[in-house]
Structure 1
Amino acid sequence: MASKSAVAVTTVVDGRAFLECPRWRAGRLWVSDLYTREVLSIGESDDVRVEVTMDDQPSGLGWLPDGRLLIVSMVDGRILVRDDANDPTSVSVHADVSALATGKLNDMTVDENGHAFISTFGFEFRSRSYVESAVLIHVAPDGSSRVAADDLLFPNGSVIIGSPDDDVRTFVVAESMGNRLTAFDLDREGTLSRRRVWAAFGPEVPRTSVRDAMAASQVAPDGICLGEAGTIWVADALNQRVIRVAEGGEILDEKHFDTGVFACAVGGANGDVLYGCAAPSSSEHQRRDTRDASLLATAI
């Protein structure tokens, strides 16, 4: 049974447009601000550094084996690489996946060998839009790309479960319009196979519209991150919470917030801080010209 104890929440950063895709790396929390078109990093003393400035909206983040930062460029369908850590504008194209993408690009996970997996919207996200299926794109370390999986319902955050020494690991992606987390086997070449449901939060939901799908969903899994012992923290875009889920769908823990939370990351020097990307809503037309999004933190 999930623990629902009250939690103390700290505001790490506020006054932002819409924060997404947080990642903990080298003592800093990295995050994209979609509508200011910046990638930020925040230190443990809450100092904020602008790491990248872009012409497009940044989303998913990851790193190549040589330490260079990869950034999803959402609208133009490209994966960018930062070439100079000291120059926020020094980005070039690592891969152009616009021909493969179904709608805008979304979140991204990059493994230790540089294999990147990028989720896509599948349709123009509006409350009355029909929920169309989308693809997950694989970009190899050399920048070549292909469709890794299809027929996903708004694939979003993803994680890799297992050790880098394993020949086969588990890749899990959140289906925000599917009321579930979906898993694949992942081999060393970046190939996904043996698709299955990792956690279902209820029955299949209708595709007639985003509004109908959300009304029928118990959880809208958005950004996700690894938890302890093979569990997954899930930002539930419907219910102002982040939940920790075991394979099969049991909710083991819940962290409730006073606002919407759309992505999460575990970090801190001891790995005992849960970060949440928070905003009153995820609506683009409401967030684009506002500065009321924040990065929140709570102990785990």
Structure 2
Amino acid sequence: MTGTRTMTTLLSGLGVGESPRWHDGRLWFANWGAQEIVAADLAGRAEVIAKGPKLAGYSLGWLPDGRLVVTGESGLLCAGADGTLTPYADLSALGEGWNEIVVDGRGNIYVNRVGFRFGEEDFKPGTIALVNPDGTARQVAADIAFPNGMVVTPDGSTLVVAESFAGRLTAFDIADDGSLSGRRVWAEVGGDGLCLDAEGAIWCADMTDGGAVCRRVRDGGEVLEQFELDAPCFACMLGGDDGRTLFLMLADWQGVEGMDTLFSSRTGRVVTTRVSVPHAGRP
């Protein structure tokens, strides 16, 4: 089903909102460009929780004990009650430029890196690393064509990652020790900023020749719903009190040549729409 939807603006004036997460009754996200970690309620009242560790390219997750984990340049950081970020896991031996994370129900953290400096270097495939609850880390997947958003299914058996430069969603089986295997195409659709719903479908954002869209797709690639957006969407997340509010992080992306003004122009917005199937899985 393709069409348009009624949208409500929750927040505006952001740099680029990324890594949206519904946690503890609020929408948390990274405000790239402003270098902020923000939490906002459904009335649009926003609070800066902590300073972001870098200008852009950081993501949020929570450990089972409630601690907030954030990606830094060479590893993972943990946020204290006062917002201070301290080292949690050193990933420098596995590379730099870590970005998206997802934490499973056992406290395993999957974190990816694109593999090259976007806008500065030629393309190189990226990787996914696993950080165990004891802080040890190892690489668990490679040759990912610009890894982006990731989700873990409610039963903890499957990880799906967006390969943005390949225009597909890729799935892995998760072993008891957190290792990834059984790589396969989950859907031949482009997407980023993934979130799962209770019917096992994934919401993802994409840019097409006709503009920007958000789509709901099931395993195998069937597009169940798709609607147009008035600006590119960097990520989406289901949340709200009943899990049926879809939060969309929009900003006026003008391509690599416009990156210098992307953050300073403050076109970032959070808009919402209502859906029928609630959130499931992680994040």
TM-score normalised per structure 2: 0.90
Match of 2:176 in 1: 188
Number of aligned pairs?
A: 269
Q: Distance in 1 between matches of 2:243 and 2:226?
A: 18
Q: Could you tell me the percent identity over the aligned residues?
A: 35
Q: Which runs of 5+ in 2 are unaligned?
A: 276-283
SS of 1:119's equivalent in the other structure is: strand
Deviation for aligned residue 1:45: 1.8
8 Å CA contact 1:237–1:262 kept in 2: the answer is no
Deviation for aligned residue 1:55: 4.3
Q: How does 1:16-95 map to 2 (within 5 A)?
A: 16-57=14-55, 59-73=58-72, 76-84=73-81, 87-88=82-83, 90-95=84-89
- 2:132 aligned with 1:144, yes or no? no
Amino acid at match of 1:144: T
Match of 1:112 in 2: 105
8 Å CA contact 2:30–2:52 kept in 1: the answer is no
Q: Which runs of 5+ in 1 are unaligned?
A: 202-218
- Does the C-alpha gap of structure 1 residues 199 and 170 become closer, same or farther in structure 2, counting only changes over 3 Å? same
Match of 1:161 among 153, 165, 169: 153
What is the Cα-based RMSD across aligned positions, in Å?
Answer: 1.7
Deviation for aligned residue 1:129: 5.3
Amino acid at match of 2:164: S
Amino acid at match of 1:82: A
Q: 1:226-285: CA deviations, max 9, x gaps?
A: 023111111114441111011111111113210110100001111111111100106532
Q: Distance in 2 between matches of 1:147 and 1:237?
A: 30
Match of 1:123 in 2: 116
Q: Distance in 2 between matches of 1:274 and 1:200?
A: 22
Q: Distance in 2 between matches of 1:226 and 1:266?
A: 8
Match of 1:232 among 202, 205, 212: 202
Match of 2:280 in 1: none
Q: Distance in 2 between matches of 1:93 and 1:22?
A: 22
Match of 1:207 in 2: none
SS of 1:229's equivalent in the other structure is: coil
- Does the C-alpha gap of structure 1 residues 55 and 109 become closer, same or farther in structure 2, counting only changes over 3 Å? closer
Deviation for aligned residue 1:124: 2.1
SS of 1:174's equivalent in the other structure is: strand
Deviates more, 1:188-197 or 1:63-72: 188-197
SS of 1:286's equivalent in the other structure is: helix
8 Å CA contact 1:275–1:298 kept in 2: the answer is yes
Amino acid at match of 1:40: V
Q: 1:54-91: CA deviations, max 9, x gaps?
A: 34236211111110000112xx222110122xx12x22
Amino acid at match of 1:225: C
Q: Distance in 2 between matches of 1:129 and 1:243?
A: 30
Q: Distance in 1 between matches of 2:46 and 2:80?
A: 20
Q: Distance in 2 between matches of 1:178 and 1:292?
A: 27
Q: Following superposition, which runs of at least 4 residues in structure 1 exceed 2 angstroms of deviation?
A: 128-131
8 Å CA contact 1:131–1:177 kept in 2: the answer is no
